Amino acid sequence: MKAWPYPLWIAHRGAGKLAPENTLAAFRVGASHGWRAFECDVKLAADGVPFLLHDDTLRRTTPARGTAGERSWAELSRLDAGGWHSRAFAGEPLPSLDAIATYVLRNGFALNIEIKPTPGQELETGRVVAREAARLWAASRVAPVAPPLLSSFRPEALQGARETAPDLPRALLLDTLWTGWFDVARALDVVACVTNHKIMDEGLIAQLRAAGLRALVYTVNDSAEAQRLLTLGIAGIITDAVDRFSPGDSLRD
């Protein structure tokens, strides 16, 4: 297997509990705790601009309603994506992928971009996000520590990513081991599978390793569970608990 360029510990949605998830503020908070690798969710505005948001709709994390992907970036970029979290973050905007790339690249951080398409836009979202990610990382004036890792629960999104940026590494996200997952992962030529931590065990890691794939997990917030996974030899742990875990923690030696 090729050397794995990503840190073991990855902050979920930026540092998406201490600050509003998927905002630049969340990344800055994560960085202030020493984190150097981040996961975020990316989808497309109606005019094709990739931006960060977890849900299909705006309701939970902004004052607006309705499907986020039906609004233009000009509309989305004016929304308050921080006030729902706490007063301190009121006015924090939804970030574009461009803005996050600028921050991550300038600071030498690693990024896992979860392609989170608005339903029905899987292929197109994968195509555009991968194309833009490739452009942004290639244009960096500092040498990136690692290429962005593109992951998705949706195979069509990874297929789209493969079409426009075949050289960017891909990972299949798995909440369950649905029928055919392994063949799909192989067919998409992924470098890793990122599973719900509850389904990761010795057998699954061995199956992935035998195929030359890394095993990563989300979202681990319990230290006994983190230790179990570290002992198994997990390659990456996505966590919300950026103030309890240290990105230097390792039991692998």
Catalytically annotated residues: 12, 54
For residue 197, the partner it binds in Mg ion, ligand G3P, none, with Cβ less than 5 to 8 A by kind, is none
Site residues (vs ligand G3P, CB under 6 A): 12, 39, 41, 54, 114, 151, 173, 194, 218-219, 238
Are the C-beta atoms of residues 30 and 104 closer than 8 Å to each other? no
Minimal distance, residue 21 CB to ligand G3P, in Å = 9
Among Mg ion, ligand G3P, none, the one that 28 touches (CB under a kind-dependent 5 to 8 A) is none
Question: 181, 235, 239: which is closest to 213 by C-alpha?
Answer: 235
By a kind-dependent CB cut-off of 5 to 8 A, residue 68 interacts, out of Mg ion, ligand G3P, none, with none
Residue 67: name its binding partner from Mg ion, ligand G3P, none (Cβ under 5 to 8 Å by kind).
none
Q: Which element (helix H / strand E) includes 89?
A: none
- Report, in Å, the least distance between residue 214 CB and Mg ion: 17
The residue number with the shortest CB distance to ligand G3P is: 218
Please identify, using beta-carbon distances, which residue of 41 and 240 lies nearer to Mg ion.
Answer: 41
Q: Which partner from the list ligand G3P, Mg ion, none does 173 bind, CB cut-off 5 to 8 Å by kind? A: ligand G3P
The label of the residue with tokens 């950026």 reads 242
Nearer to ligand G3P, 10 or 25 (CB): 10
CB 163 within 8 A of CB 156: no
Whose CB is nearest to Mg ion? 114
**Could you give the CA distance from residue 204 to residue 211 in angstroms, rounded to a whole number?**
11
**What residues have CB less than 8 Å from 33, skipping those under 6 apart?**
15, 242, 243, 247
| Interacting residues toward Mg ion by CB under 5 A | 41, 114
The distance of closest approach from Cβ of residue 211 to ligand G3P in the complex, given in angstroms and rounded to an integer, is 20
Contact between residue 39 and residue 116 where contact means Cβ atoms under 8 Å apart: no
Q: How far is the CB of 74 from ligand G3P (least distance, A)?
A: 26
Give the pair of three-digit tokens for residue 121: 């836009």
Q: Which is nearer to ligand G3P, 8 or 75 (CB)?
A: 8
CB atoms within 10 A of CB 48: 12
Instruction: For residues 228 and 89, give the distance between their C-alpha atoms in angstroms, rounded to a whole number.
Output: 35
In whole angstroms, how close is the CB of 222 to ligand G3P at the nearest point?
16
Strands 214-218 and 192-196: parallel
